[in-house]
Amino acid sequence: MKKVLSGIQPSGKLTLGNYIGAMKNFVKLQNDYACNFMVVDLHAITVPQEPAALREQSEAVAALFIAAGIDPDKANVYMQSHVPPHAELGWILTTLTSMGELERMTQFKDKAAGKDSVGAGLFVYPSLMAADILVYNADLVPVGEDQKQHLELTRDLAGRFNHRFGEYFTIPEPYIPEVGARIMSLDDASKKMSKSNPNPGSYIALLDTPDEIRKKISRATTDSGREVRFDPAEKPEISNLMSIYAECSGMSIAEIQNKYEGQMYGGFKKDLAEAVVSVIEPLQKRYYEIRESGELHDILQRGAEKATETASRTLSDVKERMGFLLPKK
């Protein structure tokens, strides 16, 4: 089976955008690929984190993975920091990465903009992300637009290592799902729905109550005019809401457009809110069951043990090829 690697940072509340754009695809992938899905806590600390919040969010993200339908008997679910080869290979790959490559990363430029001081971890973390992928010799990596540049660096580093030390790393390919909307912010459809947005009204968190979801959708920005029509160029706000509706209801965009032909936004928004609630309520029920049962830590331990077995072999092979003196087994 081809290998898949992906992860989500525990640096805020997971949103409906995370669910539709990533987690729904994780659930599909686990049936056809050997999957590793991790909570990337080492990436989260590239910016300051409150310890108690980091601990809680790490558990929450892992539990939401399972609640969304990831089966720990089919896919490894674990904390990045529980698999030490990630960090060690990250350092090794940092030594193969040039300053120029890291300086060109647009995500670093965006996050560093306007700040007097920026941590070195934020600068070098693309090398750690490359290690996350290469430590399993992953074939496919689900990536959004904001991560494509990092995957290109990963491919370059794999090729560079292979050229210097002999063919070893698989050159990973991006996994782009055939269908699936890119979910944008509720207050500005030109920006991706993000858990890091300071305005909580801009996103639907997966643990928002039904009433909070209804309120946020009722206040979501709409375009001028009253027509429920899918036209991302002319009507980006309503088109974004229609995409959310389609993902949560199973209806096509054309079916939604026909259903609300000649109607105004009010009824559409009410029905949209109920479609979202119908998806999130059962997910939340499973989430709270997992948290209360205490099974999460056993799941994470099993996932980390399996992942470490593969990652340790890769790290040992890499060090041997580079000339490290390896300890006796």
The residue whose two tokens read 């990652």 is 311
Residue 173 gets the label, from left (phi > 0), alpha (psi -120 to 50) or beta, of beta
What's the CA dihedral at 125, 10, 299, 130 to 10 degrees? -20
CB 256 within 8 A of CB 287: no
Angle, vertex CA 208, rays to CA 186 and CA 47, nearest 5: 75
Return the SS3 of 164.
helix
Closest CA to 138 of 34, 46, 253: 34
Residues forming the active site: 111, 192, 195
Distance in Å from the first CA to the final CA of the chain: 29
The angle, 0 to 180 degrees and rounded to 10, between the axes of the packed helices 51-67 and 296-322 is 100
> Locate tokens 């300086």: which residue?
103
